[in-house]
Structure 1
Amino acid sequence: MVTTQTTRIARFADRIRLRAVRMVAPHGFGYLGQALSSAELFAALYGGHYDPSRDQLVVSPGHYIIAAFAAAPEVGVLDEAHLATYGMDGSSLEAIGTERSPAVDLTCGSLGQGLSGAVGLALSNRMRRKDDARVFAVISDGELEEGQIWEAALFAGHHRLGSLNVLLDANDSQVDGPVSSITTLEPIAAKWESFGWAAFDVDGHDAEAVDEAIAAAVDDPRPSIVIGRTSTVHGLSVLPEGADGHFIKLPAELAGAAIAELEARLA
């Protein structure tokens, strides 16, 4: 049964996609695939679980900042008109996130570092008795090839940092090709569970499943991870077959078709 909340999240996800297409279109290429794959994860998170006045958000892979920027106007932490400056010289909305990126508490350059930062934020909140604050961290499956991720996961599990919730965009994509062809990561959920985490493995484009998984993760007293199985070309049928989802080329004609498809779906 499709609920009002599910429909709201699904439409929010398509608004993230539409904003991301418009942000990338002037450049003709960019990190659109990361927004396409993580749209439901961000939409569900911003649509009822993340409170920017109380919680902290870490976007570990810097190129995923496009999705955070595209979601931010929904919760009033970024002016939608400012999105038009994405990737432009002098803009704070850089194509790869930096220490000055707005709308998030931390984003990282080198991959694999964001979870360590999120662990530090969660531990700091505990020491300062900020018991109602949560730390949400978005990471990618390519980052699971980094040892630092697992060191941070071990630490969080040992210290039972239950205020820490991770969203993993498992889109099987990185610059060198499919993640699964480079490093065997499975079974992902079982690995995290062995470290003392609660793990929820879902279809990352199923708005209801993602929303319910985040709710369960927040309620669990352990640190938690929601593993969203996604695709870097999801939600745009106009993309050519075999499009490189890691760094999508988007000439003007294709950008126009993508915008038209999303606007029609949101009409």
Structure 2
Amino acid sequence: MNASLRVSDPGTDWRVDDPQGLALRLRLRAVKMVAPHGFGYLGQALSAAEQVAALFAHARPGLDRLVCSPGHYVIAPFAAAVEVGLLDEETASSYGQNGALLEAIGTERSPIVDYTCGSLGQGLSAAIGFVLSDRLRESGARTLAMVSDGELEEGQVWEAVLFAAHHGLSHLTVLVDANDSQVDGPVSSITTIEPIADKWSAFGWHVQDIDGHDVDAVLAALKDATAETERPSVIVCRTSTVHGLDCLPPDADGHFIKLPPELAAAAVAELTSKVESHRA
């Protein structure tokens, strides 16, 4: 395995024939990655599983770029990368350990994604830089950027939104994970950011507002975004940080889920059953 591998590296290759199955396996993989620690950013993988599965099904290997703006979401691309063969089992098992390649919060050395950042709100600016560079080089690449709804509280995001629309960066697609969750509580209780879709539309973007747990809807939205030739596109994905894992207690904190051994075992059993049922 190449420790510096990025999805846009020439020669990188993978294939996703079953995006829904990948979303299920991604959730299971994320549980196994978090379980040894007893807690972690599992909720972000539960929230973004369908989005990340769709991104890996949609992106052109070795060409298109993947930006994960919120660094704690990087568990989802890591998990997907293991499932499509870009990362090995040994590397996955070291997730979050001291000195491990796969850090719990992504950094500049994180593999798979082309860019991720610990400080929230900066990833969209980096994505714009990629798009401008690819435009100048006439590469034809698209940049797909994951952004969280909590990041919309950051002013830098809206400066980037204005800039991208002004320059007509049609090769940029942003997926906003609108799960109404951040470390201090529901996003809506901290800062009113709705109506999200209307705000992006007012800034000049091509906007779609969808069920982020419907992988077919995410794939269709990505296809529509690719067909847009005049404006950047944003897909507002309505999600939950506890989606797809029924064994979690009702009061589970989706932002940073506690996963003691008994609950971890129940989660693995539940998701393994769902994966097997989907394959049947």
Q: TM-score range by the shorter chain?
A: over 0.9
Q: Of 213, 216, 219, which aligns to 2:227?
A: 219
1:81, distance to aligned residue in structure 2 (A): 3.4
Equivalent residue for 1:175?
A: 183
CA contact (8 A) 2:144 2:173 kept: yes
3-state SS, counterpart of residue 221 of structure 2: helix
Q: Of 212, 216, 238, which aligns to 1:208?
A: 216
| Aligned mates of 1:207, 1:100 — CA distance in 2 | 29
Q: Does 1:15 align with 2:25?
A: yes
3-state SS, counterpart of residue 184 of structure 2: coil
Query: What is the percentage of aligned positions where both structures have the same residue?
Result: 65
Structure 1, unpaired ranges of 5+: 1-5
Q: Of 116, 134, 140, which aligns to 1:107?
A: 116
Equivalent residue for 2:265?
A: 256
| Aligned mates of 1:86, 1:205 — CA distance in 2 | 25
Q: Of 70, 75, 83, which aligns to 1:61?
A: 70
1:219, distance to aligned residue in structure 2 (A): 1.2
1:1-267 aligned at under 5 Å gives the runs 8-47=18-57, 49-130=58-139, 132-221=140-229, 222-267=231-276
One-letter identity of the residue aligned with 2:270? E
| Aligned mates of 2:17, 2:209 — CA distance in 1 | 21
1:10, distance to aligned residue in structure 2 (A): 1.8
| Aligned mates of 2:223, 2:251 — CA distance in 1 | 35
1:75, distance to aligned residue in structure 2 (A): 4.1
| Aligned mates of 1:134, 1:218 — CA distance in 2 | 8
3-state SS, counterpart of residue 60 of structure 2: coil
| Aligned mates of 2:175, 2:92 — CA distance in 1 | 24
Equivalent residue for 1:3?
A: none
| Aligned mates of 1:26, 1:75 — CA distance in 2 | 22
CA contact (8 A) 2:142 2:171 kept: yes
Moved over 4 A (4+): none
| Aligned mates of 1:206, 1:186 — CA distance in 2 | 21
Further displaced range: 72-81 or 24-33: 72-81
Structure 2, unpaired ranges of 5+: 1-15
One-letter identity of the residue aligned with 1:200? Q
CA contact (8 A) 2:26 2:83 kept: no
3-state SS, counterpart of residue 264 of structure 2: helix
TM-score by length of 2: 0.90
Equivalent residue for 2:11?
A: none
3-state SS, counterpart of residue 175 of structure 2: strand
Further displaced range: 199-208 or 76-85: 76-85
1:90, distance to aligned residue in structure 2 (A): 1.5
* CA deviation string 1:182-226 (max 9, x = no partner): 111111111111111111100111121111111111111210011
1:79, distance to aligned residue in structure 2 (A): 2.1
3-state SS, counterpart of residue 202 of structure 1: strand
3-state SS, counterpart of residue 118 of structure 1: helix
Root-mean-square deviation (CA), in Å?
A: 1.3
* CA deviation string 1:85-116 (max 9, x = no partner): 10011211000001100011100011000000
TM-score by length of 1: 0.95
Aligned pairs, number: 260
3-state SS, counterpart of residue 137 of structure 1: strand
1:7, distance to aligned residue in structure 2 (A): 9.4
3-state SS, counterpart of residue 168 of structure 1: strand
